[in-house]
Structure 1
Amino acid sequence: MSYHQIQLLDLDELGPEFPPRFDNGLIAVDDEPDGATILTGIALGVVEVEVQLADGPPPLDLDNWEEIVEVSIESTSGSLSVCGLDGDLPALPNLAWQGAGFYRLRVHARGRDTRPDGSASTPIEHYLITSWQAEPQPDMPFKYVDLYGAEVRRRRIVS
């Protein structure tokens, strides 16, 4: 993970550009299909990322996470991979696991306040991305608790 980013992209395409705004403080879906960026607290280092593939929306776990946001994303190719800017995350399951189409992603985060703008050689931040096929819907924030996300949201409103 580098430059505060975990990217979701079609590996055969160029990655998403760094979004100018993170309205929800956690994830921004690219204007074009096949791309999104998750904003991390640390600027450089190791984070833990888990992917879950589901047939529909799973039960909501509000107790174990500080930030939870659900977004829609389109995969035109049926490939949506999780990676860092330098491909520095281990191979994780394809988020567009049911082929081309629209998906809901529920992104969970914790630990972003531990070392904001710093670096980490062992995971201090944890992310869970759950994916299921679904028609597009507006972003849905479920939980906003960390200070890092609050600052990102505040800067977005001020600028």
Structure 2
Amino acid sequence: MDASSQVFVNEGTFGILDDGNIPIESVDWSQGLIAPMAGGALILTGINTGNVHVNVRIQHDHDHDQSQSPDDERWEETARARIRAPHGRLHVESLLHGPHEDLPLLSRSGPGWYQVEVRARGRRLNPDGSIPDSSEYYLIAVRADTPAPPAAMEPRERLPVDSKEELRRERLRRGGA
């Protein structure tokens, strides 16, 4: 399923937000194009303020891998991230105006993890500019992801207890020497 629209950008970002939440304290800025958070992600644009063109592609498990599509040469940048949707309501959102009504719910499988690929072109044309209708284009491809398996719970080896050392620690905890 594909859908396209213009999205308003403010302060050089728009979001893939879960229920409108922006857990900014958890943002990972290391990728430059997509910045995952504890829930959702921010997309970093070239312009500071204005509209960008966004195409959303919802992928299903049975879809073929979109990583090598025929229009690859049109995109200047690509980033992938695994993002979490704790509420299961991921939407493309303007940070100023909220969810974009013309673009679908991204988290079709409900709460959980999603693989997101963002492709961009035109981010370098007007860096930090204010342009009502920019030449920036984004493709956001989303696919439900399986949860990571829990870490194996292996029994820890017990160390032998040194009773003299334990008595010394107990005295120190009580303030004694």
Aligned to 2:91: 81
Q: Residue 118 of structure 1: which of 129, 144, 168 is its match?
A: 129
3-state SS of the aligned residue for 2:31?
coil
* Larger RCO of the pair (alpha carbons < 8 Å, separation 6+): 1
* Alpha-carbon distance in structure 2 between the residues aligned to 1:60 and 1:87: 33
* Alpha-carbon distance in structure 2 between the residues aligned to 1:80 and 1:131: 10
Q: Which one is further off, 71-80 or 58-67? A: 58-67
| Number of residue pairs the alignment of both structures matches | 134
Q: Residue 107 of structure 1: which of 107, 114, 118 is its match?
A: 118
* Alpha-carbon distance in structure 2 between the residues aligned to 1:27 and 1:71: 7
Unaligned stretches of 5+ in structure 2? 1-8, 149-177
By percentage of residues, which structure has more strand?
Answer: 2
CA contact 2:16–2:91 (8 Å) conserved in 1:
yes
TM-score (norm 2): 0.68
3-state SS of the aligned residue for 1:23?
helix
- 1:48 matched to 2:53? The reply is yes
Compute the displacement of 1:18 (Å): 7.5
By percentage of residues, which structure has more helix?
Answer: 2
Change in Cα spacing, 1:74 to 1:68, as seen in structure 2 (3 Å) is same
* Alpha-carbon distance in structure 2 between the residues aligned to 1:75 and 1:46: 25
Q: Deviations over 1:21-52 (max 9, x none)?
A: 5222101101x2x2211100000001011111
* Alpha-carbon distance in structure 2 between the residues aligned to 1:27 and 1:112: 13
Root mean square deviation, CA, Å? 2.1
Compute the displacement of 1:71 (Å): 0.7
Larger Rg: 2
* Alpha-carbon distance in structure 1 between the residues aligned to 2:131 and 2:99: 14
TM-score (norm 1): 0.75
Aligned to 1:6: 14
Q: Residue 35 of structure 1: which of 23, 36, 40 is its match?
A: 40
Q: Residue 94 of structure 1: which of 81, 84, 105 is its match?
A: 105
